[in-house]
Chain A
Amino acid sequence: MKQTFESAMVRLEEISEILSENNVTLDESLKLYAEGVKLLKFCNSKLEQAQIKISDIEGNLLEVE
């Protein structure tokens, strides 16, 4: 399934919650942490674009002031 921003956020919140529980093994928590780092990178990269894109229905970018 394609990773979406929303599904990444949901998983991140899950990881955050599991990490804060006391009964996680060190091994497991390190794995979760690594997964979290990957997801954070994905989410942050999706938010990088600084200029709104406008396109027509054929997908051609439009110049709109």
Chain B
Amino acid sequence: MADILSVTSLNLYVKSKLENDANLINIAVEGELSNFKKYPSGHCYFSLKDEKSTIKAVMFQSYARGLGFVPENGMKVVVRGKVSIYERDGAYQLYVTNMFLSGAGAYQMAFDRLKEKLEKEGLFDIDKKKPLPQIPFKIGVATSAKGAALHDIISTAQRRFPCAEIVLAPCMVQGAEAEPTIISAIKQLDSIDDIEVIIITRGGGSREDLWVFNSEVIARTAFACKKPTVSAIGHEIDFSILDFVCDVRAATPTQAAEIVLPDIYSLKMQLASIEKSNSRQINRNIDLYKNKLALIEKSDGFSSVKNTVNHNKEFLSRLQDSMKKSVERKIEKLEQQIYSRTQILENQSPLNNLKKGYAMIYKGETAVKEYTFIAGETAKIVTFSQELDCEITKVRKRKI
């Protein structure tokens, strides 16, 4: 190799060598983080070291935003990526696409440190816990619009309390980039007036998947909520920082819905039993008063008045009877008098005399009592059965 190379050409040559080495294209390296620096652009620069050696590394923003935790110096991590060279400096380095905390110990350390800090500040205090509403008709849910958690909550709500309304604030639920979306979802739900309780949830996943719910900012946001909050992150065994801050921790999304929503059937039964008891009581009260009335009616005081009234009634009716009878007797008497008068009158009638054989004499149309007839005159004689036209032939004076 007799040619004289430029620095740039050399660096480019080495770079192409490194990038074409199958062993260096996709590698995993374990080490301790040092000199970690995140720039405003989002790119992260740091070194990985072990007891003897160190290597520079870069994680560009497009990869760094998917981080499940906030890297700190001293953390033991495993990174994935490739080895290449930065031509300008001739420095070979790791280009990191993924970073995980290595070993359970590292996670636990970070978790414990934050938990202790927030606990000291009082974010977990029992007396700061808000009581859940007994019968909420509108609940807020912060979760992924596509996740199993939402599905579980909806189907539990449909079964348990279908008259409720669920307000969904969709957010991401995984990776560091989920953090601001979760915070915004919680804040939005807390600002809606008639939402009575907020559930923050996601379904099961790996420890790394759930890690974002150990965020300090999310914890503080949940703590600042005016409304009661319920967390349900992952499965029964998974505990997150959020679980300690929220007013109630549910083991699963389904359990969260069960804790928050009442059972409609037992509510309906409760209402039915109140309805029944009220009807029974009102009828009992009415009966009670009916019985009281019956007792009063039967009481001495009341019955003596009643007796007096009855006596008076009887007296009146007897009086009425006797009056009626005496009037009847009077009428009878009068009728008899009328009858006997009629008899007398009838006896005195001239017709009666005619029956006895007397006759009446008419001069013209007039019956006469005293009239001096002369011979040759005419008269009419009326007997009981006949009328006689007569001519007077002779008149003699009668001696009385």
Nearest CB on A from B141, distance (A): 9
A47-B166 contact, Cβ under 8 Å, with A5-B137, A29-B281, A40-B274: no
Encode contact with A along B159-188: 1 for CB under 8 Å, 0 otherwise: 000111111111000000000000000001
Chain A residue at smallest Cβ distance from B195: A57
Expressed in whole angstroms, the minimum distance between the Cβ of A8 and any Cβ of chain B is 10
- Contact of B23 with A by CB under 8 A: no
The yes or no answer to A1 lying at the interface (CB within 8 A) is no
- Interface pair B188/A47, CB less than 8 Å apart: no
Q: Determine the chain A residues whose CB is within 8 A of the CB of B264 once the complex forms.
A: 47
Tell me the bound Cα distance from A50 to B169 in angstroms.
23
Contacts of B270 in A (CB 8 A): 9
Q: Give Cα distance in the complex from A1 to B137, angstroms.
A: 17
Contact with A along B135-155 (1 / 0, CB 8 A): 101000000000000100010
B168 A54 Cβ-Cβ under 8 A: yes
Most buried by A among B169, B274, B277: B274
Question: Which B residues contact A (CB, under 8 angstroms)?
Answer: 133-135, 137, 150, 154, 157-158, 162-170, 188-189, 192, 264, 267-268, 270-271, 274-275, 277-278, 281-282, 285-286, 288-289
List the 5 closest A-B pairs by CB distance, nearest first: A19-B281, A49-B163, A53-B165, A33-B282, A29-B285
19 pairs of residues in contact across A and B, judged by CB atoms under 8 Å = A5-B135, A9-B135, A13-B274, A20-B277, A26-B285, A26-B286, A29-B282, A36-B274, A40-B271, A44-B268, A44-B271, A47-B163, A49-B162, A49-B163, A52-B165, A55-B165, A55-B166, A57-B168, A64-B168
Chain A residues near B (Cβ < 8 Å)? 5-6, 9, 12-13, 15-16, 19-20, 22, 24, 26, 29-30, 33, 36-37, 40, 43-44, 46-57, 59, 62, 64
